[in-house]
């Protein structure tokens, strides 16, 4: 009886994990696409029904819909996969460690995927070489998003992927610039005595780049960071955000601003709650990196004055690169670095404006189909790079709301 | 005399947070002595969640099962609470969250008792399941609440919740048959069974009470943070660890104050350390290391003093025997 119940518990656990993995309909059949081009099926791909596009299997890591960044990332990726005639194959890592992500990658590779989008930040320097090697051994196209530029991937990773025909590229954000802009905005609001909520030191790439951006701003504007909170036991919950701000304001009453350079989506509700509870909405401002849920509330109260985020298009771009290869028209020979832009909102008003379009799919089906050379022979590498680098709030407004 | 002893005990129990507060007052007097009641108020408010969760954890520990899944359970109830809030506002959120805590807690307790293995592994498995449920429930859904639903985080409601929950804890633990039976089961299972205590029923009740406390902690924590994010895998265990430390602190001062007060004193001490480390600009990534070291020192002290007391008793018994033998010898 006990053994049976233990097995039952294990089964429930596995099923609930599997339920998370299947959420979002990643295994659904691809939709038909308009204006099909003509192409020869590539190795590992099949004709995608009546679209004429090659149907291939795009693997990705589904981190659920737990926050304001992972939700649009997945929604945009799923939309791109469907638009480009591919089949999505999601997998959900058991936890947020590079080992868990490597295990999940094994699962993906066992599902006969043709290409896979790898979140570099989840593998980091320790896990990236193994991830790259697994993809190479499986003969699967791969590329990174949420990572550094290619030259900063780490010697081991770079040595494998720089000459590889399977490597699609590296989509990186300019973290230094994002942090610098955050500090600059706080300074413009008259806030120079700053508290800092950030990532743990183990998150070397992002932490170093964002810290460097803050440091540059401190030197340029004469600001001061009074105290830091990088303990992930605290910064992964909203209550931790409230506790942090309460501690900051108790220990440093002169503090007039806060930069959240990591885990924004977790701490922001609590941060806002603590600031309003202390009645400091008018003289205490927050600048953040990554978009949290319910951003309009924080902007409306005047607390949140800067946010850079919306860096959710990396996997979409990787899917475009993979789709072109699978349709026999590769855009580039080998992988390279691409600067995936942040959407930078530098006032409460701009944040409110963004909230009106935040749920939109960034690239619609028509736009994505024009990113395939089989449909649009003029779409070359330069056009692709221009598309990547022009991504911004005004770019989306111009493309979708110009009237 | 009994009252005097009780007062003495309470004063001894309060020594720990007073020492910690005095220590940080020396390092940052402006924060700990110069801000009026502000710092103390922050300490008292921040200790509430940890304390309620620790009270909930204590029941499982009493019957001999360390259950880390209570933190994942709390997060699940927080996520449920955001859904109930969006369905019907504040009162529906409070009522349905407590009902959910009771129902989910009963299912969890039943599973634990049916498996009947007093192992942390069961707790870890349940943590995974509860975390996954939270993840599924929060998918494609906003998990924040409006300002109107955060009223419980402010005074006097926060302290009313603390005192009310504390009274329930104290009553169940010290004045109810269930509390006595739980201590009996945790102390000596064979003896408890021989006395006719149904250990499975007691274990079920202990787990269920812990779940209800997790429900209360969830409502209060959600009110404080105004939002929640699902935590996958074992990530939630960090919160359970803080509460576990409070239980250990209560054991440390258990000679002086009862468990209910001891756990609260532990939570207050932890909050003082938390604010103290921020005020002296201590590297935040080492905070857990410092609090763990603090716990280790307390545990080491408890073990050493316990061993010394036992040794002293043994020596006294041995000396009494020698005296008795001598007396017997001289008489004969």
Reply yes or no on whether the pLDDT at B34 is more than 90: no
Lowest-pLDDT choice from A279-288, B274-283, B290-299: B290-299
Are both B252 and B155 inside the same structural domain? yes
Reply yes or no on whether the pLDDT at A278 is more than 60: yes
- Residue A204 in contact with residue A153, Cβ under 8 Å? no
pLDDT number for residue A44? 44
pLDDT number for residue B245? 84
Q: Do B285 and A6 touch (CB under 8 A)?
A: no
How far does A6 lie from chain B, in Å, by closest CA?
6
pLDDT number for residue A246? 92
pLDDT number for residue A205? 61
Are both B163 and B70 inside the same structural domain? yes
More confident residue, B231 or A132: A132
* Interface with chain B: mutation pick from A242, A248, A278, highest number of B CBs within 10 Å: A242
Handedness of CA A61, B230, A259, A302 (dihedral sign): positive
Reply yes or no on whether the pLDDT at A363 is more than 90: yes
How far does B321 lie from chain A, in Å, by closest CA?
50
Lowest-pLDDT choice from B239-243, B258-262, B321-325: B239-243
Does the bond joining B156 to the residue before it have cis omega, within 30 degrees of 0?
yes
Reply yes or no on whether the pLDDT at A11 is more than 80: no
Number of domains in chain B: 2
Are both B232 and B332 inside the same structural domain? no
In chain A the domains, ranked by start, together with CATH numbers, are 19-173+312-341+364-400 (3.40.50.2300), 175-309 (3.40.50.2300)
* Mean of pLDDT values over A359-388: 94
Which DSSP category does B227 fall into? B
3-state secondary structure of A396: helix
pLDDT number for residue A7? 44
Residue A232: both structure tokens together:
């992930």
Are both B181 and B237 inside the same structural domain? yes
Reply yes or no on whether the pLDDT at A383 is more than 80: yes
How many beta-carbon pairs below 8 A join chains A and B? 174
Are both B179 and B234 inside the same structural domain? yes
pLDDT number for residue A70? 80
* Mean of pLDDT values over A391-401: 90
More confident residue, A332 or B132: A332
Which residues in chain A have their CB less than 8 angstroms from residue B232's CB? 20, 64, 66, 92-96
DSSP string across A175-224? HHHHHHHHHHHHHHTT--EEEEE---TT-HHHHHHHHHHHHHHHHHHT-E
Reply yes or no on whether the pLDDT at B293 is more than 90: no
**Is B134 a domain residue?**
yes
CATH number of residue B262's parent domain: 1.10.3470.10
pLDDT number for residue B85? 93
pLDDT number for residue B171? 92
pLDDT digits (tens, 9 = 90+) for A190-214: 999 999 998 876 555 666 788 889 9
Residue A98: phi and psi, rounded to 5, are -65, -35
- Minimal Cα distance from B79: which residue of A? A66
* Mean of pLDDT values over B54-60: 87
pLDDT number for residue B284? 76
How far does A79 lie from chain B, in Å, by closest CA?
15
Residue B305 banded pLDDT, cuts 50, 70, 90:
confident
Beta strands in A243-292, from DSSP E residues, in sequence order: 257-260, 285-289
Residue B79: both structure tokens together:
């996520």
**Is B24 a domain residue?**
no
Paired residues of A259 in beta bridges: A196, A287
pLDDT digits (tens, 9 = 90+) for A23-82: 333 333 333 333 333 333 344 445 544 567 899 999 999 876 556 678 889 999 999 999
**Is B14 a domain residue?**
no
- Measure CA of the first residue to CA of the last residue in chain B; give whole Å: 44
Q: Do A233 and B238 touch (CB under 8 A)?
A: yes
Reply yes or no on whether the pLDDT at A260 is more than 60: yes
Percentage of chain A with pLDDT > 70?
84
* Mean of pLDDT values over A289-294: 86
Q: What is the CA radius of gyration of chain A?
A: 22
Paired residues of A320 in beta bridges: none
Q: What is the CA radius of gyration of chain B?
A: 22
Nearest alpha carbon to residue A223 among A214, A210, A232, A233: A214
- Minimal Cα distance from B287: which residue of A? A231
Are both B249 and B310 inside the same structural domain? no
**Is B177 a domain residue?**
yes
Are both B181 and B245 inside the same structural domain? yes
Reply yes or no on whether the pLDDT at B93 is more than 80: yes
Percentage of chain A with pLDDT > 90?
52
> Average pLDDT of chain B?
85
CA distance B54 to B244: 6
Residue B261: both structure tokens together:
């007060």
Q: Do B140 and A65 touch (CB under 8 A)?
A: yes
CA distance B81 to B100: 9
Q: Return the residue matching tokens 């302290």.
A: B159
pLDDT digits (tens, 9 = 90+) for B115-164: 777 667 777 888 888 888 887 787 666 688 888 888 898 889 999 999 99
Paired residues of A193 in beta bridges: A224
CA B185 to chain centre: 19
- Name the domain boundary from B220, B237, B268: B268
Which structural domain, as residue segments, surrounds residue B112? 42-268
Of the partner residues B125, B229, B284, the one whose CB lies closest to the CB of residue A66? B229
Of the partner residues A12, A13, A230, the one whose CB lies closest to the CB of residue B285? A230
Reply yes or no on whether the pLDDT at A21 is more than 50: no
Of the partner residues A16, A250, A272, the one whose CB lies closest to the CB of residue B31? A250
Percentage of chain B with pLDDT > 70?
95
3-state secondary structure of A285: strand
pLDDT number for residue B118? 67
Are both B207 and B310 inside the same structural domain? no
Lowest-pLDDT choice from A132-141, B157-166, B171-180: B171-180
pLDDT digits (tens, 9 = 90+) for A305-323: 999 988 899 999 999 999 9
* Mean of pLDDT values over A158-181: 91
* Mean of pLDDT values over A360-372: 93
Residue A345: both structure tokens together:
């909102």
Cα separation values, A66 from A24, A399, B315, Å: 13, 28, 61
Are both B49 and B155 inside the same structural domain? yes
pLDDT digits (tens, 9 = 90+) for A81-122: 999 999 999 998 877 788 999 999 999 999 999 999 999 888
> Average pLDDT of chain A?
84
Task: Count Cβ atoms below 10 Å from residue B183 Cβ, excluding itself.
Answer: 17
């Amino acid at each position: 009886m006990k053994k049976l119940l233990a097995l039952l518990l294990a089964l429930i656990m596995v099923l609930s994990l599997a339920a998370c993995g299947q959420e979002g309909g990643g295994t659904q059949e691809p939709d038909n696409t308009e204006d099909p081009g003509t192409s020869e099926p590539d190795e590992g791909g099949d004709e995608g029904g009546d679209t004429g596009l090659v149907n291939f299997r795009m693997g990705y890591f589904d981190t659920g819909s737990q926050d304001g960044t992972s939700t649009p990332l997945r929604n945009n990726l799923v939309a791109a996969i469907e638009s480009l005639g591919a089949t999505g194959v999601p997998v959900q890592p058991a936890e947020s460690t590079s080992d868990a992500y490597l295990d999940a990658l094994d699962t993906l590779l066992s599902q006969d995927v043709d290409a896979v989008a790898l979140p570099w930040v989840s593998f980091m320097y320790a896990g990236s070489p193994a991830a790259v090697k697994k993809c190479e051994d499986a003969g699967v196209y791969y590329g990174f998003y949420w990572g550094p530029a290619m030259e900063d991937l780490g010697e081991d990773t770079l040595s494998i992927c720089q000459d590889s025909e399977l490597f699609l590229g590296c989509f990186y954000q300019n973290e230094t610039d994002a942090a610098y802009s955050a500090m600059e905005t706080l300074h413009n609001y008259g806030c120079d005595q700053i508290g800092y909520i950030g990532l743990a030191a183990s998150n070397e790439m992002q932490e170093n780049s964002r810290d460097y951006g803050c440091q540059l701003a401190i030197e340029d504007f004469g600001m001061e960071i009074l105290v830091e909170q990088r303990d992930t036991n605290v910064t992964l919950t909203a209550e931790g955000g409230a506790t942090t701000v309460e501690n900051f304001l108790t220990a440093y009453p002169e503090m007039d601003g806060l930069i959240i350079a990591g885990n924004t989506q977790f701490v922001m509700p609590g941060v806002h709650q603590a600031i309003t509870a202390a009645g400091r909405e008018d003289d205490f401002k927050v600048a953040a990196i990554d978009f949290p849920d319910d951003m309009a509330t924080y902007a409306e109260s005047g607390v949140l004055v800067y946010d850079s985020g919306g860096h959710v298009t990396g996997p979409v771009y990787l899917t475009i690169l993979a789709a072109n290869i699978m349709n026999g028209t590769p855009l580039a020979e080998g992988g390279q670095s691409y600067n995936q832009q942040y959407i930078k909102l530098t006032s409460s008003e701009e944040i409110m404006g963004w909230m009106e379009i935040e749920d939109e799919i960034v690239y619609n089906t028509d736009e994505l189909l024009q990113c395939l050379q089989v449909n649009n022979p003029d779409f070359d590498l330069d056009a692709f790079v221009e598309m990547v680098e022009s991504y911004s709030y005004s770019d989306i407004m111009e493309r979708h709301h110009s009237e | 005399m009994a009252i005097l002893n009780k007062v003495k005990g309470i004063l001894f129990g309060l020594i720990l947070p007073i020492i910690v507060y005095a220590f940080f007052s020396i390092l940052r007097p402006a924060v700990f002595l110069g801000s009026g009641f502000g710092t103390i108020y922050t300490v008292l408010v921040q200790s509430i969640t940890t304390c309620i969760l620790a009270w909930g954890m204590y029941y499982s520990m009493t019957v001999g099962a360390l259950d880390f899944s209570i933190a994942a359970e709390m997060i699940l109830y927080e996520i449920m609470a955001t859904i109930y809030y969006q369905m019907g506002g504040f009162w529906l959120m409070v009522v349905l969250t407590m009902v959910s805590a009771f129902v989910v807690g009963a299912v969890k307790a039943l599973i634990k008792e049916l498996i009947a293995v007093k192992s942390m592994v069961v707790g870890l498995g349940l943590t995974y399941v509860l975390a996954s449920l939270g993840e599924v429930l929060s998918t494609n859904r906003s998990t924040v609440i409006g300002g109107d639903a955060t009223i419980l985080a402010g005074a006097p409601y926060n302290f009313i919740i603390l005192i009310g929950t504390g009274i329930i804890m104290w009553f169940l633990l010290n004045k109810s048959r269930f509390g006595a039976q739980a201590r009996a089961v945790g102390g000596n299972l064979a003896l408890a069974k021989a006395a006719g205590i149904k250990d499975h029923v007691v274990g079920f009740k202990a787990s269920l009470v812990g779940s209800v406390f997790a429900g209360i902690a969830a409502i209060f924590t959600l009110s404080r943070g105004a939002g929640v994010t699902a935590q996958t895998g074992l990530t939630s265990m960090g919160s359970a660890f803080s509460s576990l430390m409070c239980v250990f602190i209560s054991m440390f001062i258990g000679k002086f104050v009862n468990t209910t007060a001891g756990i609260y004193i532990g939570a207050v001490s932890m909050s003082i350390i938390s604010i103290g480390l921020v005020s002296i600009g201590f590297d935040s990534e080492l905070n857990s290391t410092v609090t763990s070291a603090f716990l280790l020192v307390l545990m080491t002290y408890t073990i050493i003093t316990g061993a010394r007391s036992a040794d002293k008793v043994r020596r006294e018994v041995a000396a009494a025997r020698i005296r008795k033998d001598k007396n017997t010898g001289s008489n004969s």
